[in-house]
C-alpha cells in the first residue's frame, strides 16, 4: 500500500514556541503551476504584539550575555543549519527556485552566520573610543544594543536576507521580530526551527509570516519597538513609518539595492546601526604635567 506523506504545517515562531496565528487566518502558497503547496499563517497585529512582549522579555538575558557567548551561539546556528541543509534546499525548490540557486542560497546563509558570529565580541572594540577631553575625566564611549528590533525581509531573498537581518541584530545583543517574505515564506519558518534548537533562548528571535502592508503601521506605532529595519520598502511607506516611529524616536533603517546573496550586508555597520553609543565621564585625579593617572 502506498504511504501517505505527512505534510508540515508552517506556523509562526514567537517566544520560543510555534503557535498558529491567533487570528486563524492563512493564505495559500501556490507554485508556478498554480497548485497549493502550503497554507501559510497570516499574522495579525495581536501576533505581532505577542512577539514584542516575548522579545522585550528576552532582551535583558540576551543583551547581558558576553559577546563571546553570543558568538558561540551564532556559530551553533550555522552548525544546525548545515545539518538541515537538504530540507532548506527542498523548500526553496518547492517554491520554484532553481536547483543551483537554492543550494547557493543555503550555503551562503550558513556562511553568513559564521561571519556575524565572528563580530559578536569584536565590534565593541572597533567602535568604542577613549575620547580626549579638557577636564579631569576619563571619557569613553561604548556601543550598547538598542533593544527590540523589527525587520521586514526582502521579498526576493527568502533565506539570506532573513539570516542577515537576524544576525546583525542579535550579534549586537538586540532581540528581533522578522516578517518573512510573503512570496517565499517557507524556509524562514524552518530557520526558526533551527534557531529554536541552537541555544538561542525563546523570544530572542521571532518570525512572522504575513503581509507587510497590513502590519507596517503596527510596527511603526508600537512604543516598545526601538528600531525598524525596512530594506526594500517604498519611499512613501518609509516616510510614514518614520513619522509614526518618531513618537518614541525609533531608529528606522533602509538599505536600498542590497544584493544579499552577493554579501552586501557583510559589514559591521548593520550591527552598529542597531546600537546606541553610551559615553561615560569618569572623574579622575587632576591631570598634571606628566599626564593623567587612571
Partner 1 sequence: MSIRNFIPTATIDQTGIEERVARLNSRSIKKESKVFALKMALNMIDLTTLEGKDTPGKVKQMCYKAMHPHDALPGIPTVAAVCVYPTFVALAKKELGNSGVKVASVATAFPAGQSSRDIKLRDTKIAVDAGADEIDMVISRGKFLAGEYAFVYDEIAAIKEACKSSRLKVILETGELSTLDNVRLASEIAMQAGADFIKTSTGKIQPAATAPVTLVMLEAIRDYYYETGRMVGMKPAGGISTAKAALQNLVMVKETLGATWLSNLWFRFGASSLANDVLMQLAKEAEGRYQSGDYFSKD
Residues near partner 1 (CB under 8 A): 49, 52, 56, 218, 221-224, 247-248
**Cα-based distances in Å from 108 to 4, 152, 176, 191:** 34, 20, 21, 14
Q: What is the smallest separation between the CB atom of 203 and partner 1, expressed in angstroms?
A: 15
Find out whether 131 and 138 touch, Cβ atoms under 8 Å: no
Q: What is the smallest separation between the CB atom of 81 and partner 1, expressed in angstroms?
A: 33
Q: What is the smallest separation between the CB atom of 40 and partner 1, expressed in angstroms?
A: 25
Identify the CA nearest to 127 among candidates 172, 163, 169. 172
Which residue number, 56 or 240, has a Cβ lying nearer to partner 1?
56
Which residue number, 76 or 222, has a Cβ lying nearer to partner 1?
222
Measure the CA–CA gap between 18 and 15, rounded to whole angstroms. 8
Q: What is the smallest separation between the CB atom of 276 and partner 1, expressed in angstroms?
A: 13
Which residue number, 133 or 223, has a Cβ lying nearer to partner 1?
223
| Cβ contacts of 52 within 8 Å, gap of 6 or more | 148, 177, 222, 224, 225
Which residue number, 157 or 218, has a Cβ lying nearer to partner 1?
218
Measure the CA–CA gap between 54 and 51, rounded to whole angstroms. 5
Q: What is the smallest separation between the CB atom of 221 and partner 1, expressed in angstroms?
A: 5
SS3 151: strand
Which residue number, 7 or 249, has a Cβ lying nearer to partner 1?
249
Measure the CA–CA gap between 248 and 226, rounded to whole angstroms. 8
Find out whether 112 and 160 touch, Cβ atoms under 8 Å: yes
Q: What does the buried/exposed string (b/e) look like for 154-167 if buried means 16 or more CB atoms within 10 Å of the residue's CB?
A: beebbbbbbbbbbb
Which residue number, 57 or 268, has a Cβ lying nearer to partner 1?
57
Q: Hunting for cell 543549519 — which residue is that? A: 81
Q: What is the smallest separation between the CB atom of 47 and partner 1, expressed in angstroms?
A: 13
Amino acid at each position: 500500500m502506498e504511504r501517505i506523506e505527512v505534510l508540515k504545517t508552517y506556523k509562526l515562531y514567537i517566544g520560543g514556541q510555534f503557535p498558529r496565528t491567533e487570528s486563524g487566518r492563512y493564505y495559500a502558497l501556490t507554485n508556478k503551476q498554480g497548485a497549493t503547496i502550503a497554507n501559510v499563517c497570516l499574522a495579525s497585529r495581536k501576533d505581532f504584539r505577542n512577539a514584542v512582549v516575548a522579545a522585550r522579555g528576552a532582551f535583558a538575558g540576551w543583551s547581558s550575555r558576553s559577546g563571546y557567548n553570543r558568538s558561540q551561539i551564532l556559530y551553533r546556528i550555522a552548525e544546525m543549519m548545515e545539518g538541515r541543509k537538504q530540507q532548506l534546499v527542498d523548500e526553496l525548490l518547492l517554491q520554484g527556485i532553481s536547483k543551483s540557486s537554492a543550494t547557493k542560497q543555503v550555503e551562503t546563509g550558513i556562511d553568513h552566520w559564521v561571519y556575524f558570529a565572528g563580530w559578536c565580541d569584536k565590534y565593541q572594540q572597533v567602535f568604542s573610543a577613549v575620547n580626549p577631553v579638557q577636564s579631569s575625566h576619563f571619557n569613553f564611549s561604548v556601543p550598547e544594543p538598542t533593544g527590540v528590533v523589527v525587520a521586514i525581509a526582502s521579498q526576493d531573498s527568502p533565506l539570506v536576507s532573513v539570516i542577515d537581518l537576524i544576525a546583525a541584530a542579535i550579534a549586537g545583543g538586540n532581540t528581533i521580530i522578522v516578517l518573512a517574505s510573503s512570496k517565499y515564506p517557507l524556509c524562514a519558518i524552518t530557520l526558526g526551527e533551527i534557531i529554536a534548537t541552537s541555544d538561542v533562548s525563546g523570544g530572542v528571535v521571532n518570525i512572522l509570516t504575513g503581509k507587510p502592508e497590513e502590519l507596517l503601521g503596527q510596527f511603526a506605532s508600537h512604543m516598545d519597538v526601538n528600531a525598524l529595519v525596512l530594506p526594500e520598502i517604498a519611499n512613501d511607506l518609509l516616510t510614514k513609518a518614520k513619522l509614526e516611529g518618531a513618537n518614541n524616536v525609533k531608529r528606522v533603517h533602509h538599505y536600498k539595492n542590497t544584493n544579499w546573496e552577493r554579501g552586501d550586508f557583510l559589514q559591521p555597520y548593520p550591527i552598529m546601526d542597531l546600537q546606541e553609543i553610551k559615553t561615560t565621564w569618569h572623574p579622575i585625579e587632576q591631570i598634571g604635567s606628566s599626564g593623567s593617572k587612571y
